[in-house]
Chains A and B, each alone.
Chain A
Amino acid sequence: MRTFSVKIGSRRITLSDRMIQENDYRKWWIIPVVAGVYLLPLFLNEYSIYLMNMLAATIIGAVALDILCGFCGQLSLGHAAFIGIGAYSYGICHMTLAINPIFSLFIAGFTGAFVSLLIGIPSLRLKGLYLAIATMGFTFITDEAVRFLRAWTNGVEGFKISRIIDIGFVQLNSGDAGFYYFIYTLVIVAVIFSRLLLESKIGRAFTSIRDSDVAAEVSGINILLYKVLCFAISSFFASLSGALMGIIIGMISPEDINIMQSINYLIMLVIGGMGVVYGAVIGAVLITFLPEWISMLSNSFLPMTVDLSILQYLIFGLLILFFIVFEPNGVYGRWTVVKGYFKTFPFNERKVGRIAWIYRWR
């Protein structure tokens, strides 16, 4: 049913009927959040700073996976492999070859991006879930390659990475607040970058491939190129996150490269909201703190005999299913629905219900 009239030749009409609903790109609430992030270490103890630093590396990893899964709709189960590659290449560059740590971070990122080309080009030629299978296989191959290249990676014994990075004028220890500022600056850069990416021509190409690849192709988008580009950008950030994680932990071993790690990041996306940068951030925060909350609750409510670790695993699985079935847009999606409800409060056009999967919010 159409309730509008087509105006012919209205091209000459000026843009006066442009609607009032112009999107508000200036999000002033960002400023208190950023300020809060930078002020936070003043109130935190050592463990919390450590946890927040881990969270920062996780956020970058989650945003990286969001660029691939959420924007472009390609499932990857090899995120852990890229995180491992990032940590190892940072370690080799910084520890073995004694390259400046900032450069090493970039080299780590670019190594990941380069490797992603090698997997992406054969497996992204086909439509479907081949990337998921190929990246899963790549996880196992990376694990084996790390063991095989014993001379460089120290094999199964694990590679030690310095927890101190020296950026010219100041030395940052990964347990300190100084490193906190450094890593959160990177987080903010990564978040802003991916937001801008989403707004740009490239980001639009990604989302159009996700929504309808045929239409994207006839609109002049080179599907293979953009899919591979997306995978490379995602891998760059994943490897960067891996390098940072290596610095925080001080060690990387082949055991860290396993599928469960990759799935953990997927859980973050699903819970936070896929296809939205803020969703990935929220998911990372929730999944990092959820174990703490679970153990806090269980200390007060559950008897000691219940095995927490298995329970936690079960809760993660149930969370995925719960969110996919009842709120596929994640926490952020639910939030926008609630927001929309209040915005139009007495005049709600229709019931607030399930809306489209992967719905991009402004």
Chain B
Amino acid sequence: MKKIKVLAIVGLCVACFLSFTSNTIADTGVNKKVILVGGSLDLTGPAAFMGQGVKRGINLYFNKVNAEGGIHGRKLKYIAEDDGYVVAKTVSNYKKLTLKSRVFCLLGSTGSVGPKALKPYLEEDKIPLVGPYGYTSAMFRPFHTYLFNIYATCEDQAKIFVDYLKTELKLENPVIGLLAEDNEIGQDTIRGAEAQVKKVGWQAPVVELYKRSAIDFSSQVLRLKAKNVDALFFPVISSHSAQILKECQKANFQPLLFATATATDLRFLKMAGDSAYFGKGLRSFATQINHRDNSSGAEEFRAAIAKYDPSNKDPNSFNLFGYGIAKILCEGLQQAGADLTREKLISALEKMDGYETGIFAPMTYGPNNRQGTDSVRILRADHNKKDFVIETGWLHPE
């Protein structure tokens, strides 16, 4: 009897051991043929469509590079682990990627808290993480050697928002409203807007927050309306943006509306329906190009989709984002030379100055700069074309 019990326990231990066995690839994740790149993305959970989209975009670009001969003869392989928007799992995934799969570097990440939790680990293991998907300044402030940020942060966007109201739209002391999710992105936005408003000498912004589980924005919108807000900025995910627009329409609330990069898809316009063109119209801060327009980057992306991922009939901005960050990483890897190490990748990325991805604003890193870019451009929802049209070029915060 005891034998069976012992046997079962031994069997369990063997099974555990099997799961511990690591790959045979070298510690650094690079050999003659392959470069392993990993990422912890939210492939399930409340914002899963972002992680799924980014993963698809990255794989698209990697497939393209591999088909064109790879980087210095090495093929790229992307390993995505799911964290379901939970920090604990992000760290577990990091451990798995670095200690078991032995990746060379990390590409893409969930939200902004995840990479923050990884910071000490990245520092310890000296592993660079390129392109965290989050718009917060906490990514590179305080300076962190191993986090290569891509986006203009929400803080920058809020500053550009105030600048744009002042310089382009020539508003005088308007009431500025912010409607954000109560997370790091929301806090970053508030910080940026308050700083910039103080600088130009306008009154403090009206702030409304909600939680991710929210299903109803009516009271926030009504409160903003009651405060006579002239210009409203809502850096939130696309479905929430659409809901907010609908609420504004319902409440007959007509401020200048500013959404963020998540609200630049055609799908978003479809979701919002009429409400996107209601009142003074909707503008969006785009951190990347629109993949439907006729710039060279968009054409390249469309060609890649047609060739390497033809099943993707309706590419979205997250695909494009993944494509873009993969492109930046590949540029870095290319520049780092045939004898690839992590230090060389980091110094190659640091040398990047105004690199034109065709997707983001020109990318610039330096020994003390990990932001990449702080520019956004403004798109306007056009009623006749039923699409966004470009309103400005790349804008910097002042």
- Chains A and B directly touch (beta carbon < 8 Å): yes
Which A residues lie at the B interface, using CB under 8 A? 29, 32-33, 36, 43-48, 50-51, 54, 140, 143-144, 147, 155-158, 163, 245, 249-253, 255-256, 258, 260-261, 285, 289, 292-293, 296, 307-310, 312-313, 335, 338-339, 342-343
In the assembled complex, B22 has its CB within 8 A of some CB on chain A = yes
Smallest CB gap from B20: residue in A = A48
Report which of A47, A147, A249, A285 forms a contact with B182, defined as CB distance below 8 A. Answer: A147
Neighbouring A residues of B19 by C-beta, 8 Å: 289, 292-293, 296
- Beyond A45-B20, A249-B117, 6 additional contacts (C-beta under 8 Å) are A36-B9, A50-B92, A158-B87, A250-B121, A252-B87, A307-B43
* Count of B interface residues, CB-CB < 8 Å: 46
22 residue pairs bridging A and B, Cβ less than 8 Å apart? A44-B20, A50-B99, A51-B95, A140-B213, A156-B183, A158-B117, A250-B117, A251-B116, A253-B87, A253-B117, A256-B86, A258-B86, A260-B45, A260-B86, A285-B16, A289-B15, A309-B43, A309-B82, A310-B43, A313-B44, A339-B5, A342-B1
Neighbouring B residues of A32 by C-beta, 8 Å: 6
In the assembled complex, B322 has its CB within 8 A of some CB on chain A = no
Neighbouring B residues of A29 by C-beta, 8 Å: 2, 5-6, 9
- Are B2 and A157 in contact, with the CB atoms below 8 A? no
- Are B91 and A251 in contact, with the CB atoms below 8 A? yes
- Are A251 and B87 in contact, with the CB atoms below 8 A? yes
- Are B16 and A310 in contact, with the CB atoms below 8 A? no
Closest 3 CB pairs of A and B: A47-B99, A309-B82, A309-B43
- Are A249 and B100 in contact, with the CB atoms below 8 A? no
Which B residues lie at the A interface, using CB under 8 A? 1-2, 4-6, 8-9, 12-13, 15-20, 22, 43-45, 52, 82, 84-88, 91-92, 95-96, 99-100, 111, 113, 116-117, 120-121, 138, 182-184, 186-187, 211, 213
Q: Report A325 CB to chain B, min CB distance, Å.
A: 24
What's the A-B contact tally at a CB cutoff of 8 Å? 111
- Are B20 and A256 in contact, with the CB atoms below 8 A? no
- Are A256 and B87 in contact, with the CB atoms below 8 A? yes
Report which of B2, B44, B117, B183 forms a contact with A251, defined as CB distance below 8 A. Answer: B117
Smallest CB gap from B5: residue in A = A29
Q: Report A33 CB to chain B, min CB distance, Å.
A: 6
- Are B113 and A253 in contact, with the CB atoms below 8 A? yes
- Are B44 and A54 in contact, with the CB atoms below 8 A? no
Smallest CB gap from A260: residue in B = B84
Bound Cα distance from A158 to B20, whole angstroms: 30
Beyond A33-B9, A144-B211, A256-B87, whether A50 also contacts B95 by CB under 8 A is: yes
Neighbouring B residues of A338 by C-beta, 8 Å: 4
- Are B4 and A342 in contact, with the CB atoms below 8 A? yes
Overall SS of chain A's interface: helix
Q: Report B90 CB to chain A, min CB distance, Å.
A: 9
Neighbouring A residues of B1 by C-beta, 8 Å: 339, 342-343
Bound Cα distance from A245 to B113, whole angstroms: 17
Bound Cα distance from A285 to B19, whole angstroms: 12
Bound Cα distance from A46 to B20, whole angstroms: 10
Q: Report B198 CB to chain A, min CB distance, Å.
A: 21
Bound Cα distance from A343 to B5, whole angstroms: 12
Neighbouring B residues of A43 by C-beta, 8 Å: 17
Bound Cα distance from A143 to B1, whole angstroms: 48
- Are A157 and B116 in contact, with the CB atoms below 8 A? yes
- Are A249 and B87 in contact, with the CB atoms below 8 A? yes
Q: Report A181 CB to chain B, min CB distance, Å.
A: 18
Neighbouring A residues of B17 by C-beta, 8 Å: 43
Beyond A47-B20, A156-B187, whether A249 also contacts B43 by CB under 8 A is: no
Beyond A256-B86, A310-B44, A342-B1, whether A157 also contacts B8 by CB under 8 A is: no
Q: Report A316 CB to chain B, min CB distance, Å.
A: 10
Smallest CB gap from B12: residue in A = A285
Q: Report A37 CB to chain B, min CB distance, Å.
A: 10
Bound Cα distance from A255 to B45, whole angstroms: 11
- Are B43 and A255 in contact, with the CB atoms below 8 A? no
Smallest CB gap from B16: residue in A = A289
Bound Cα distance from A250 to B91, whole angstroms: 9
Neighbouring B residues of A292 by C-beta, 8 Å: 19
Smallest CB gap from A157: residue in B = B184
Bound Cα distance from A313 to B246, whole angstroms: 33
Neighbouring B residues of A308 by C-beta, 8 Å: 43, 82
Q: Report A311 CB to chain B, min CB distance, Å.
A: 10
Neighbouring B residues of A50 by C-beta, 8 Å: 92, 95, 99
Bound Cα distance from A261 to B88, whole angstroms: 10
Smallest CB gap from B99: residue in A = A47
- Are A156 and B91 in contact, with the CB atoms below 8 A? no
Neighbouring A residues of B100 by C-beta, 8 Å: 47
Q: Report A71 CB to chain B, min CB distance, Å.
A: 24
